[in-house]
Structure 1
């Protein structure tokens, strides 16, 4: 049940959709999320009312094509799965949205079952969610 937020500079609807597709397909392929598990927030920044900043940290030459991808998901993936996810997102972002891999910045935030409510005020992943105590 990942929650994905994608921020891109000067991205129109089709580019945001392409980036979302890239991330979703990578999540399905590399960590096995269900294909219908789709929860994305896609935000385009116009460079005036909202913008993105980046540097060349660790020798990666980023530019205005920068895309920030923040994924929140339940803990439990291996380092190899995470590395495969990063690689696949970069590959598919280039293929679908024309985003150069050097401009794909991904961060994962892991949490536990009780940290999710998928509606109705319940923590559906928590084993004790139906316990009234």
Structure 2
């Protein structure tokens, strides 16, 4: 059900973006009960010219280590579960990959279940 998009600046470690995705998937499983194998991610690296951010919006000091995460999920999770997910992702990226918590930018997009097709031109969640 989630579709995860991760955008980072080009990293010398070619596996860095994939490792970010692994941490996000683990947090999704743990915090909002995403089923096993429900792992769809688009991981993109950008050069400096194509990676723009404000270094101090809302008083949060950001660096070139920014990780932009957009997660599209079916609607219906509580605010508490969403907050737990945000914290878990930030803490996990910090402890496992050394990403500064200030550099973890997450945007959650909720959609109705009828707006998903996982293949074959069928809306699998429509009853």
Q: Indicate the TM-score class for this superposition, using the shorter chain for normalisation.
A: over 0.9
Count of aligned pairs: 126
Write the deviation string for residues 85-121 of structure 1: whole angstroms up to 9, x where unpaired: 0000001111232211110000100001110010000
Where 1:35 maps in the other structure, the secondary structure is coil
CA offset at residue 13 of structure 1? 2.7
Task: Give the 4+ runs in structure 1 shifted more than 6 A.
Answer: none
Name the structure 2 match of 1:16: 17
1:9-88 counterparts in 2 under 5 A? Answer: 9-11=9-11, 12-48=13-49, 50-88=50-88
1:97 and 2:106 are equivalent in the alignment: no
In structure 1, C-alpha distance between the alignment counterparts of 2:16 and 2:95, rounded to whole Å? 11
CA offset at residue 43 of structure 1? 0.4
Normalised to the residue count of structure 2, the TM-score between the two structures is 0.94
Q: Is the radius of gyration larger for structure 1 or structure 2? A: 1
1:6 and 2:3 are equivalent in the alignment: no
RMSD: 1.2
Name the structure 2 match of 1:131: none
In structure 2, C-alpha distance between the alignment counterparts of 1:90 and 1:28, rounded to whole Å? 15
Q: Which runs of 5+ in 1 are unaligned?
A: 128-133
Normalised to the residue count of structure 1, the TM-score between the two structures is 0.90
Q: Cα 1:35–1:13, aligned 2, differ >3 Å: closer, same or farther?
A: farther
